[in-house]
Amino acid sequence: MQFDRVIVVDWSAANLPTSPTNRANAVWIGCHDSEGGIEWHHRTRAAAEAQLGTLIETARNDGLRLLIGFDFAMGYPAGFAARLTGSPTARAVWRWLAEAVSDGPDNRNNRFAVAARINATFSEGPGPFWSHPTGQSWPGLPFRRAGIDYAALGLTEYRAAESAVPRAKSPWMLFNPGSVGSQSLLGLPMIDRLGKNPEVSVWPFDRAIDARVMVAEVYPSLLAGPVAILANAHGLPADQAQVRLLSRALYNLSCHGRLAPLLDTPPEAQEEGWILGAGHAPLLEEALGWA
């Protein structure tokens, strides 16, 4: 399987537009193809999504195949989708969130209210979502993980994908360093919109991996060592270094016909999703040096 261009997106859950000089909390888009690499940053999610639409359309007009990776969870632990929507599919959750989440052009959003609303559907105890900014109060949304019994809720704290990636956080955690929960709540409505394009497949939920555009979940911290070296050497925001290196590694793997091992998934992935590259960090790092 080969792609002509690889795009990696470091998403953001910022509640306001980032300042023009604060690039650390912006949305970063990294792109790599035969001409090399480039990165862009956006102060809002709306601006980033608009550029992604342009990149997809440009690739379509040029007859190119795209791989687009997003750094948030595209599914939840088994059982959640059916409990929330009545359907055991990730797409049903995307659709539900697309209707429930309000995310304005200025980044103002209702993600904590949506999480509290979901938690209210679980009568067995607090959770599954937790964590919010200090000083805020969201009834039904615990501030701490303590006291949440995931077994009683009929869920697990982590997906199978997190167990395959060191230090990966649970998608239920919405706030504090390393959390991915808020990015997922605000990113999945976009995946719902992208997935309606007949030329887009969302891996591993769609089996049409030969589609013109394949969207996948990625975890840039798989390249934590090289990212730290690059960021420190050139004074780059870590997010910019992440999208630069991961887009390069995935593009090089594609060019050398070495992506196939990354596409192997366990059965749980069909409902929960999977991280492209999970268990293959050494191969990704090796690919950075390939011409």
Q: How many CB atoms are closer than 10 A to CB 58?
A: 12
Residues forming beta bridges with residue 5, ordered by sequence position: 33, 66
pTM to 2 decimals?
A: 0.96
Q: Is the peptide bond before 204 cis (omega within 30 degrees of 0)?
A: yes
| DSSP-assigned letter for residue 50 | H
> What per-residue string of b and e applies to 220-247 under the rule 16 or more CB within 10 Å gives b?
bbbbbebbeebbeeeebbbbbbbbbbbb
Q: What is the pLDDT of residue 21?
A: 65
For 215-262, what is each residue's pLDDT tens digit?
A: 999 999 999 999 999 999 999 999 999 999 999 999 999 999 999 999
Identify the residue whose tokens are 């088994």.
Answer: 78
186, 175 contact by CB (below 8 A): no
Tokens, residue 49 = 């999504």
Residue 184 CA to residue 71 CA, distance in Å, equals: 9
Domains of the chain: residue spans and CATH? 5-73+190-287 (3.30.420)
Residue 186 CA to residue 256 CA, distance in Å, equals: 34
For 113, the enclosing helix (H) or strand (E) is helix 111-119
pLDDT score of 209 more than 90:
no
Q: What is the pLDDT of residue 118?
A: 98
Q: Which of 279, 214, 198 is nearest to 7 (CA)?
A: 214
